[in-house]
Amino acid sequence: MPYIYEPAGKAKEYADLALNLLDGCSHRCQYCYAPGVLHRTREAMAHASPRNIDMRKLEREIKALRRGSEVFLCFTCDPYQPLEAKTRVTRRVIEMLHAHEVAARILTKAGRLSTRDFDLLSARPDLSAYGATLTFISPASAKRWEPGAASPISRLRALEKAHSLGIPTWASLEPVIDPAQSLELIRTAAPFVDKFKVGRWNHDVRANGIDWRAFVKGAVELLRERGKAYYVKLETRPYLPKGVAAEWAGR
């Protein structure tokens, strides 16, 4: 089986190619879809371990990719968990991708821990994108829902630092559990986030109680007022105001 794969379904909206570097994720996010996809309990999923990756085989896969391709890190785990600080597998893979002119698109909730490879990303901004999942602005909410992940302020500061170094930045607003907090995150992060991806909350009946039309309208208005590029995910597009584009390059 290849290490680099083509995501299917909703994941396809984030990347054409992806690579999962670790087995499991210690963030223990209560809304995580990965345990269901991988047919594992949440408890088992929370015990991250190194993935047995043959680096020579992985390099052959990368070398075979078209120059300028993009590989997403990661879907079923965070590429910057505490375990990775010991293995440094993410750094090795970024170096490998860049060596073969392939872009690394990162999505993390690790905050400060994820800044250690900014020297690589800032050296090749044309082949890099640094993103963070922004779910809550309240530390208490984040601690409840994402007990092992970095705090909201740590994620925001990491994005701000990346932006200051010239690294293209993006934010994933998904899941949206508290719409008011998600809107406040847009206001806070807009000065240093280049693009926002707007989703919703899935796999939970409590999401049915959210006024999605009001949230999407508010999110798009904020993003356009601030001139920020955005992408509204397919499942969220039915709630867009009439005549408003689902994707905008900003200004």
pTM beyond 0.85, yes or no: yes
CA distance 97 to 93: 6
Residue 24 contacts residue 114 (beta carbons within 8 Å): no
Confidence of residue 47 (pLDDT cuts 50, 70, 90): confident
Q: Where are the domains of the chain?
A: 9-248
Tell me what the mean pLDDT of segment 81-89 comes to.
91
Query: What is the percentage of the chain residues whose pLDDT exceeds 90?
Result: 86
- CATH of the domain spanning 9-248: 3.20.20.70
- Would you call 169 helix, strand, or coil by DSSP? strand
CA 105, 108, 114, 119: dihedral to nearest 10 degrees? Answer: 10
CA distance 104 to 124: 10
| pLDDT digits 0-9 by tens, 119-138 | 999 999 999 999 999 999 99
- Please return the burial class of 251, using the count of CB atoms within 10 Å of its CB with bins 0-12, 13-18 and 19+: exposed
